[in-house]
Amino acid sequence: MIADLCLVLLLDASGSVDAREWELQAKATADALSSPAIVERITHGPNGRIAVTAIEWSSGTALILPWTPIASEGDAKSVAVILATYQRKQSGSTAVGDALTAAAAAIKAGPECLRHVVDISSDGSSNAGSDPRAAVAALMAMDVMVNALVIEDEPGVLDFYKETVSGFVMPASWDNYAQAIKTKLSLEIAGLDDCRPGGSCSPTLVY
């Protein structure tokens, strides 16, 4: 059955993300996806389901979760367990372009969906690998939106993502990451335009 959304989650495993921050990032994403509010959004879409894949990225990429449908609370909880218990494989450079290229490959191999979104979490600008702007352009040509949740640990990182991605940028800190990712997923799943493309969106705005 066709899904309302194909969502690629790109979780930052670069060296600037320590073990505590990785655990927070993975667990917060798991908790958000399985929260009652998010599950309700998913199940009340036109087809009542989305498909999700998750990828760890740094100087390389590693698959966390293959394409998995979410059409119920049980589905969401199963996905959450995988995300929350996954053990990261790397801690290297910040190759944003390569991560986005991996997302494009995943979408090409993925299920049929009404919309396609890449959701990248990051605390740093690209410092390795291929050109992220070229990767975003390739995704745009596939009718894929790229949104970013940016931890402002590095000077200029928010501007980098505003100038790079095709969708919205949500600034956050590790302290409010859990609320930020929940808000971001809520917007993406609902297909809302509350956050202006190319601009920023406050994690306290909605839901």
Kindly state whether residue 204 falls inside one of the protein's structural domains. no
pLDDT for 53 equals: 98
Residues 108-122: tens digit of each pLDDT: 999 999 999 999 999
33 vs 53: CA distance, rounded Å: 12
Kindly state whether residue 148 falls inside one of the protein's structural domains. yes
Residues 4-49: tens digit of each pLDDT: 999 999 999 999 999 999 999 999 999 999 999 999 999 999 999 9
**Which range of residues forms the domain containing residue 119?**
3-190
pLDDT for 193 equals: 46
User: What predicted TM-score, i.e. pTM, was given to this entire model?
Assistant: 0.93
139 vs 123: CA distance, rounded Å: 21
Q: What is the mean pLDDT of residues 160-187?
A: 95
**Are 180 and 149 a contacting pair, CB within 8 Å?**
yes
**Are 60 and 2 a contacting pair, CB within 8 Å?**
no
pLDDT for 6 equals: 98
Kindly state whether residue 202 falls inside one of the protein's structural domains. no
Kindly state whether residue 90 falls inside one of the protein's structural domains. yes
pLDDT for 190 equals: 86
Kindly state whether residue 21 falls inside one of the protein's structural domains. yes
104 vs 96: CA distance, rounded Å: 13
Kindly state whether residue 199 falls inside one of the protein's structural domains. no
Kindly state whether residue 12 falls inside one of the protein's structural domains. yes
Number of domains in the chain: 1
Residues 136-153: tens digit of each pLDDT: 999 999 999 999 999 998
CATH classification at residue 48: 3.40.50.410
**132: its two tokens:** 């992220």
Q: What is the mean pLDDT of residues 177-183?
A: 96
* 154 confidence band (pLDDT: 50, 70, 90): confident
Kindly state whether residue 206 falls inside one of the protein's structural domains. no
